[in-house]
Structure 1
Amino acid sequence: ARTRPVGINYATYTGFGTIRQRVIGEAKRAPTPQELAQMQALVASAVCQGAIGLSTGLFYAPQSFSKTEEVVALAAEAGKRGGLYDSHIRDESSYTVGLLAAIDEEIEIARAAHIPAHVSHIKALGVDVQGQAPAVIARINAARAAGLNITASQYPWSASGSSMVASLVPLWAQDGGRKAMLARFDDPTQATRLRTDMAENMRKRGGPTKLLISEGAERNRTLAEVAVANKTDPISAAIAVIRVGDPGVISFNQSEADIAAFMRQPWVMTDSDASPGHPRVYGSFARKYAKYVVADHVLTLREMIERSSSLTADTFGLTGRGHLKAGAFADVVVLDPRRYAPRATYQQPTELAVGVQTVLVNGVLAVDGGKLTGRAAGRALPHRPPAGT
């Protein structure tokens, strides 16, 4: 923000995937003691330079190749310096350890690393785990009652977004990176097992009609439609798409009952998990208001605002942010409650919401009368480790 104007305030983590890939590469193995020490030093250095903590995506290779103990060792370095641990947990479905075991791992990392832990975009994904929201909530509430600081964020959509590879290709086939994965498609000793596992992962997500491709040549077509157009089966169609690239995939896989149950928790805040091709990039906050406050009455207006501002700022240690009070930074949104609604859809994901009248960023008008002013007043919000850490 010092050298190039940005429109928003932002804070960043140091990413486990980047660190592990730099030190170990894409291999499915544990780090040596020397490699672990190198990764710990990278985490410590990043937090001292302003990262607000360590983020992980334990569902995704190569991070998925790590054991809990490795993650604890790295998270502890952030915790010593006042940072947070934020995770896309190891399994939101039934791919590997299962949703409940993945929540247990998140709680164990918080306990063992002495660090606040956050579950990014909490959900119960897929047909095997729909209805498990109450069990997840009970585990987190028990951990909080025991003194652990566990929070979560959620996007207000029943469809998730990931890549074709992450959605369908089993982790064992991703060992060694993309080149090794593509070779396995052509290896007759592995291809049958690979196709079987891909079919099972597709089933968990509801089948080929529930997978909407959001990027590339097949954008806005389901995997089922691609298969029909190419006169082939869905797995063969998926493999053909993956050979060309790894496009984004929108997966319709969550129940409204689970979404509402998570949303009602006082420790769950709003996020977008913004990724190209999904309407959550442009429409998450407006949808939460229009659907879950106005239409479905899951939250009150006050609850929605708090969980989209003050709870977020307080959770991530953004001092002076998220509150309308004297002495705070003037980050203000003025909405028309009669009109505020999303326009972004799965087919047209970049449509702006309506009903946003005024936006101030650090006291500077970014939106005036419902129109962008072109003034970019965003700032980096670096973490300040306690003295002596």
Structure 2
Amino acid sequence: MPFDTLIVNGTLIDGSGAPRFRADIGIRHGKIARIGDLASSRAEHRIDAGGLIVAPGFIDVHTHAERGLVSPELNDNKGFITQGVTTCVIGADGGHSPRSIRELRETFEAQGVGTHYAFLVGVNAVRKEVIGMEDRAPTQAELEQMKSLVRQAMENGAVGLSSGLMYLPARYATTEEVVELARVAADYDGLYDSHVRNAVPDFEGAYREAIEIGLQSGARPHPAHYKAVGMRNWGKTKPLNDWFQSQIDQGVDLTVDAYPYDGAATALLVDVFAVPREDGMPVRPPELRDPLLDAGDFSRFMAGYVADLQQALRDPARREAIRVATEVGIPGVYSVIAFAAEGYDTLRIVASEPFPELEGQMILDIAARRGQPPFDVMADLLFAAGPEIKVTLAAAVEDDIREILRRPWTMIASDGSNTGFDNGRGHPRSRGTFPRVLGRYVREWGVLTLEDAIRKMTWLPASYYRFAERGLLREGFRADITVFDPDTVIDRSTWQEPARYSEGVIHVLVNGEPVLSDGHMTGALPGEFLPRADQDDVDDPGMPIAGS
């Protein structure tokens, strides 16, 4: 019987961490039917992978891909597919309830999507649904209602529980409250994925809390987008990594994920100012929250808001009120400086067309040179450049990134989205994460071997997140496959131009169907919902799972 597709002449890296080898792959009915010398076999479709690497499709365990997948213009998931990604985990940072998960799934199934998707149910979402945005502990009845919502999502196939403990309303949740919710996920062999809280003022404590929640609840702990943020924490990753390793050596099943960039969330400089909700203060247009707002409308609304903010900053009383809201914090107004960073030492300018000499510089360093308070530096830059300066809200350093990526229990994940590129907030990780690791950290810098990097993108996440028949090139596994050129694969997105697509990924198959062929999108939408599988259905004989 002929194969549906044959991939011939390629070098296979199977995802396990084992050395590469030469073989062909025969695909039939969406699965890998044969691996071996198949050059003489017949097939309806033939891919010549001579000089290329053939690997399992990459699994991105921390995404916000739903922001684009809901749109018929973006549901092919091109920004991820051109990186070699075939599966996106959705629901990071605590953002989704059973209801929103159901609605998203219905939308995806109705219109089709280019990649597979899985869901995490969120602490933030279930807390908001039950007790709103109140700063208080839930009653026992409310806690039981929250646990019921987590249970509902887990019974519908969610892979685990996520939290965004830096964000409202989960900032109000105690460790014990999160443990109670995570216990429900653990009952279904779900994991606990955490955007940790207070990682700048309490770097070690924030990550230890995430592990402790896992230990107390029985849910496998997974701190997300792990990094040392802020000048005060640079260089602290190795001691914490050694502690993580000590926990693993004692039998704790933990992993982390990370992306290969020295800055986290991006924002326009104007977004750093926290503005009180008072008469006479500028009001941010609600339209600016729309991730699908086009560039022209965004510029128009933003220009009006910037003008109003500049006017407020000219008035001494209003300027002082904005400074207090930004630096100290006031109830009901979120400030990244007051509530997340507890200071300015996380802010780095990453794009500044009017003043390119400032790119890469920390706000605190600029303030020191000018002899000004950092708030005044930001205000001066806002007057001089309007919305044309972009900052990262969480600056890291390269040595720490490499220390994290080298660890065998670190997955690669983008924290990416496929929207936001028209509003000045796009991050290069959204379209560059996986090729950046392969092109920079493997080929150019030698931080990882190619086999290690691919394991971090495939079998490690598949085993830990319980995706059956995924993450390895094995006969009987689903044919989610990425074919790339190891000599040319590279990221092209930058802080200044984050929308640029990566290069060097040549073919991508999802369930055996080509979604990228010779570097071009095919328009196919074969992605499907991936429910959490039982561990027995994930383990491959002879293969250790996760970080072991």
Coarse TM-score class (shorter-chain normalised) = 0.7 to 0.9
Q: Is 1:203 aligned with 2:344?
A: yes
Distance 1:164 1:61 in 2: 21
**Contact preservation (8 Å) 2:211, 2:222:** no
Unpaired runs of 5+ in structure 1?
Answer: 180-184, 215-219
Distance 2:189 2:199 in 1: 27
Q: Which residue of 2 aligns with 1:346?
A: 495
Q: Which residue of 1 aligns with 2:8?
A: none
Q: CA deviation at 1:316?
A: 0.5
The one-letter amino acid paired with 2:226 is: I
1:189-338 equivalent positions in 2, closer than 5 A: 193-197=324-328, 198=337, 201-206=342-347, 209-210=348-349, 233-234=376-377, 236=379, 250-251=392-393, 253-275=395-417, 276=420, 277-338=426-487
Q: CA deviation at 1:355?
A: 1.1
1:368 aligned to which of 502, 517, 538: 517
Unpaired runs of 5+ in structure 2?
Answer: 1-107, 278-282, 284-312, 329-336, 354-358, 421-425, 536-548
TM-score normalised per structure 1: 0.82
The one-letter amino acid paired with 1:210 is: I
Distance 1:155 1:297 in 2: 17
1:105 aligned to which of 209, 234, 245: 209
Distance 1:306 1:356 in 2: 17
**Contact preservation (8 Å) 2:350, 2:495:** no
Q: CA deviation at 1:193?
A: 4.2
Q: CA deviation at 1:369?
A: 1.0
Cα distance, 1:32–1:385 mapped onto 2, change above 3 Å:
farther
Distance 1:317 1:248 in 2: 38
**Contact preservation (8 Å) 1:213, 1:250:** no
Distance 1:212 1:92 in 2: 25
Q: CA deviation at 1:13?
A: 0.5
**Contact preservation (8 Å) 1:213, 1:223:** no
Cα distance, 1:358–1:53 mapped onto 2, change above 3 Å:
same
Larger displacement relative to structure 2 (156-165 or 80-89): 156-165
Aligned length: 355
**Contact preservation (8 Å) 1:47, 1:385:** no
Q: Which residue of 1 aligns with 2:309?
A: none
Q: Which residue of 2 aligns with 1:151?
A: 255
1:78 aligned to which of 177, 185, 196: 185
Q: CA deviation at 1:383?
A: 2.1
The one-letter amino acid paired with 2:413 is: D
Distance 2:360 2:249 in 1: 46
1:126-165 equivalent positions in 2, closer than 5 A: 126-161=230-265
After the TM superposition, list the runs of 4 or more consecutive aligned residues in structure 1 that deviate by more than 4 angstroms. 162-165, 167-170, 185-193, 211-214, 220-224, 234-240
**Contact preservation (8 Å) 2:266, 2:427:** no
Q: CA deviation at 1:164?
A: 7.2
Q: CA deviation at 1:194?
A: 3.1
1:373-384 equivalent positions in 2, closer than 5 A: 373-384=522-533
TM-score normalised per structure 2: 0.59
2:129 aligned to which of 8, 14, 22: 22
Say which SS state the counterpart of residue 22 (structure 1) adopts. helix
Cα distance, 1:187–1:367 mapped onto 2, change above 3 Å:
same
For the pair shown, the structure with the greater C-alpha radius of gyration is: 2
The one-letter amino acid paired with 2:397 is: S
**Contact preservation (8 Å) 1:212, 1:251:** no
Cα distance, 1:196–1:379 mapped onto 2, change above 3 Å:
closer
C-alpha RMSD of matched pairs (Å): 3.4
Say which SS state the counterpart of residue 307 (structure 1) adopts. helix
Q: Which residue of 2 aligns with 1:8?
A: 115
Q: CA deviation at 1:259?
A: 0.4
